[in-house]
Amino acid sequence: MKKAISFLAILLADIFSLILSFRISYFLRVNIIPAIFNVENPWFFPEEHFYKMYYLLFVFIFIFSYEKLYTRRYEFFEEFIYITRGLFISVILIAVIIYLSRTYEIFARTIPILMMFTGMIIVPLVRYTVKKILIVSGFYIKNSAVVGIAEETGRVVPTFKKLEAIGYRIVEVLEPEVVENDGKVEQLALRDKVETMIILPKGIETERLNRLINRCENHVKEIRIVSDSTYLKTIGVETEYIDEVLVMRMANNLLSPFNRFFKRVFDLVVSAAGIMVFLPLFMIITLLIKIDSRGTIFFIQDRFGKGGKKFKLLKFRTMYEDADEKLKEYLAQDPRLQEEWDRYKKLKSFDPRITRIGKFLRRFSLDEAPQIFNVLIGEMSIVGPRPYLVREKEEIEKSAAIIFRVKSGLTGLWQIRGRSDLSFETRLKLDEFYVRNWSLFLDIIIILKTFGVVVKGKGAY
């Protein structure tokens, strides 16, 4: 019953969101766009024509179903990707349907396009709100148990706790022998209504693992087995059977010439637009830097880019001219400061090298803004691994083959996950993950989340 109520609530939320998106798009097309461009409507679009075509909204529902938006549970930004893709595909299908049905003479073709963009905002937010209400009320909860050796459960369970945000509740953590030797699974299924068993196979013999699976699948609806293959650091894994052998295929999207071309076009459009929009701000920052301290406007430094080649990275200067000498003296005063520098390559509490205006620029990452020119000339990308320093060559050696496949980015996963609050090792792992899992939707998500991170100033030192 709870599952049916949750499904119906989310379905109705989508229908409401799509109708609202349509109404807003209709209003924009009929009232706002003509006023902005100071033109009269070439023809009027009576609303009753569109009411007759509300059945087209179910194209969106069908595509959302195809994207498994009613059967799988995603985190907000992952769900945003599938919703955006669903909206895009649906708009294309609707355009084809309108053309083939010969109704395009009375249909404003800009409305489905506007609906896609309004839907990208409305649908995810309404879904998120409805799911939160369902989780709080207990309807969208899926009780789960974890099975594995103590060493593995201690490492993995804290990560699985994050699943509570999308409705998974870990009610029990079990050792393999407990599952094998008594009726614990049966008790959990009956007493706690456990629907999902999450099995961690690392450290469990094959025969024992088969027994665990056989025991669990008789009592729970869903079994999830967490891969113990540390080399599968990708979300782009597809599975297939060749005879009786299970084969996993890892995608490598950035090897596609079309994807690389599309990413470059995206970089050119965004960087050109960014320069035009922010040019007045650049001029103000330039003036403030000159007033605050003596020295150049820009700080130019060699960094590693695609293929391990060096390029000249542009930044607004945020340090005094004798910054290196100030740093050496400061680190020599306290071994703990040297330890902090060794771990993060940053000083979090106080950095004597940074000017007054430099602190402000770093707080909101404005010192990085000139790199948009690096993007425009093709040395960097809008999104990618942050460019590494030449002195970090030895430290990134084990990850260099992966990270250097792509251009360095103005922003990236490191920016939105914590920046300087993260260890250097974590930064490398995030950059590897990005390269292996690139998609246009991932780039868009990173860009959107970057704005929030910049405003909060989290991890900026």
Phi, psi of 177 (to 5 degrees): -65, -30
- Mean pLDDT, the chain, as a whole number? 81
Q: Tell me the pairing of strands 388-389 and 298-304.
A: antiparallel
Are 120 and 98 part of one and the same domain?
yes
Per the structure, how many domains does the chain have? Answer: 3
Q: pLDDT tens for residues 351-381?
A: 777 888 988 898 888 899 999 999 999 999 9
Structure tokens at 106: 């009375």
**Could you tell me the pLDDT band of residue 329, with boundaries at 50, 70 and 90?**
confident
User: 313: which strand partners?
Assistant: 301
Helices and strands in the chain: count of H runs, count of E runs: 19, 11
Cβ atoms 49, 106 nearer than 8 A: yes
Are 149 and 130 part of one and the same domain?
no
Structure tokens at 51: 């009411």
Domain for residue 344, yes or no? no
Domain for residue 42, yes or no? yes
pLDDT for 451 equals 82
Are 167 and 61 part of one and the same domain?
no
**Residue given tokens 């990236």 in the structure block:** 412
User: 197: which strand partners?
Assistant: 145, 223
Quote the percentage of the chain above a pLDDT of 90: 23
Are 379 and 421 part of one and the same domain?
yes
**Could you tell me the pLDDT band of residue 240, with boundaries at 50, 70 and 90?**
low
Domain for residue 235, yes or no? no
Are 189 and 52 part of one and the same domain?
no
Q: pLDDT tens for residues 7-22?
A: 999 999 999 999 899 8
pLDDT for 164 equals 75
Domain for residue 275, yes or no? yes
Cα Dmax for the chain: 79
* Section 113-123 average pLDDT: 90
CA distance 114 to 36: 15
Domain for residue 437, yes or no? yes
Are 18 and 127 part of one and the same domain?
yes
Are 190 and 78 part of one and the same domain?
no
Q: Choose the final residue of a domain: 97, 112, 136.
A: 136
Are 111 and 189 part of one and the same domain?
no
Domain for residue 341, yes or no? no
Domain for residue 233, yes or no? no
Are 223 and 275 part of one and the same domain?
no
According to the 3-state scheme, what is the secondary structure of 23-67? HHHHHHHHHHHHHHCCCCCCCCCCHHHHHCCHHHHHHHHHHHHHC
Q: Choose the final residue of a domain: 84, 106, 136.
A: 136
**Could you tell me the pLDDT band of residue 238, with boundaries at 50, 70 and 90?**
low
Three-state DSSP class for residue 370: coil
Reported as type and span, the H/E element at residue 223 is: strand 222-225
Q: pLDDT tens for residues 193-223?
A: 888 888 888 888 888 888 888 778 778 888 8
Q: Choose the final residue of a domain: 89, 110, 136.
A: 136
Read off the pTM.
0.60
Structural domain harbouring 294: 257-319+354-456
Are 276 and 374 part of one and the same domain?
yes
Asked if pLDDT for residue 231 goes beyond 50, the answer is: no
Q: pLDDT tens for residues 395-421?
A: 888 888 888 989 999 999 888 887 767
Asked if pLDDT for residue 27 goes beyond 70, the answer is: yes
Cβ atoms 55, 93 nearer than 8 A: no
Are 150 and 273 part of one and the same domain?
no
pLDDT for 402 equals 86
Asked if pLDDT for residue 461 goes beyond 70, the answer is: no
Domain for residue 326, yes or no? no
Are 293 and 313 part of one and the same domain?
yes
* Section 33-37 average pLDDT: 73
